[in-house]
Chain A
């Protein structure tokens, strides 16, 4: 949950208060720098990502009526990680699609990144609603463990039982996602 300090930081950002913004940098930026340096990036990338995430957050608050549910630090750091992963993925694609000149609309890309972040939150939160047992078994499943391997890692006795559990948990998860109020706006129907 956000604290008073978190609220002060968010308000400083929304109002463009330089002192408060400097405080935000002091709180989270070093962590982001070290994450990006460890993941194929430069200091300049960290500057760029951090700046974008701050714009992202204000846009979300003003346009999407977004409310912080976690700590301010936690949100910023998580969003920076996501945005950097997204950036790396784009680079990879650009390499594989060599020869084709793609014109990137920076602003549109930033808008899409906001929705990617929202979608990520939706899927993460829905997963969090599952029972511990479902989380464990689906964790294995989505990390590509075979039913046989899941049997070995859990107390289930056969692959058939595991298969049924995966089915039950996955339809439950799908139900959570479909009934979330954010789901519609995050899908092109």
Chain B
């Protein structure tokens, strides 16, 4: 009792309510006289409900005796008793859950307290330590260009550079000071000497002079200012200075600044 394609198309059109009145009346007549066709229409209507995306729910009726049979079991003493037991089971579940929740809450509180203590201690100890570490990793001065090129104050600068290379920064300062005359290389040597001697204010002033003196080396100032803040453990300021540096790809140590930023933001 399968139907041909034509009949299926008509069923679809009937369900879509797109048949003309005469077609519809004729089709309903066919349904009335053909139980198999009626069945097929019902199945097709049901398919739309069961497989479609719409929110409609199944509507076709069931044989009354089957419904009655189920209903009488639902109304039986047996089901009544079971319903009571299920409610007891639910109560037990609620009780267990409440107990578990108290335990969990207690555990969370303990864990949170421990974590807080840990966090506080590592925050204060570690913040300076980690910026200091980063400073140490990045304060390699061996690659600075030598100052012993032609110049008026060559002698002083050469002495300064020698002391600088020997890490005698405090002594080196006096040879650089007064000889910097806006020369970016000398300013860098001088600034670093201040920085290594922990004269942060003077280091910053020197690097700022470098930044604003409009020479080809000015852009390097951002990097050294960042390092100055790093060494002091001023994380937020270091980040701000590095972000300034990152605004121009041609700036000195552009890539390294990116790396440092990501480490600082961890």
Question: With A115-B70, A170-B8 given, is the CB distance from A123 to B51 under 8 Å?
Answer: yes
The contact string, 1 if C-beta is below 8 Å from chain B, for chain A 162-189, is: 0110010011011101100000011111
Contact, CB under 8 Å: B58 / A20: no
Q: Does A151 contact B (CB under 8 A)?
A: no
The number of residues on chain A lying at the interface, defined by a beta carbon within 8 Å of a beta carbon of chain B, is 59
User: Which of A16, A110, A119, A139 meets B82, CB within 8 Å?
Assistant: A16
| Chain A CB within 10 A, most for which of B52, B58, B60, B63 | B58
Q: Closest A residue to B50 by CB, please name it.
A: A123
Contact, CB under 8 Å: B86 / A54: yes
B-contacting 9-mer, from A55-63, A70-78, A95-103 = A55-63
B4 CB to closest chain A CB, in angstroms? 9
Contact, CB under 8 Å: B5 / A167: yes
Measured CA separation A111–B58 after assembly (Å): 14
Measured CA separation A85–B49 after assembly (Å): 12
Q: Closest A residue to B42 by CB, please name it.
A: A187
Chain B contacts for A34, CB-based, 8 A: none
Give chain A interface residues in 107-137, CB to chain B under 8 Å: 107-108, 110-112, 114-116, 119-120, 123-124, 127
A-contacting 9-mer, from B71-79, B136-144, B173-181, B236-244 = B71-79
Chain A contacts for B66, CB-based, 8 A: 115, 185
User: Which of A59, A92, A142, A174 meets B52, CB within 8 Å?
Assistant: A142
Question: With A47-B90, A58-B82, A88-B55 given, is the CB distance from A108 to B48 under 8 Å?
Answer: no
Chain B contacts for A13, CB-based, 8 A: 86
Measured CA separation A74–B74 after assembly (Å): 23
Question: With A187-B39, A188-B62 given, is the CB distance from A51 to B5 under 8 Å?
Answer: no
User: Which of B47, B52, B79, B81 meets A173, CB within 8 Å?
Assistant: B47
Q: Does B46 contact A (CB under 8 A)?
A: yes
Which 9 pairs across A and B sit closest by C-beta, in order of nearness? A21-B89, A16-B85, A25-B93, A111-B70, A142-B51, A22-B92, A123-B50, A89-B57, A22-B93
Q: Does A143 contact B (CB under 8 A)?
A: yes
User: Which of B60, B64, B82 meets A55, CB within 8 Å?
Assistant: B82
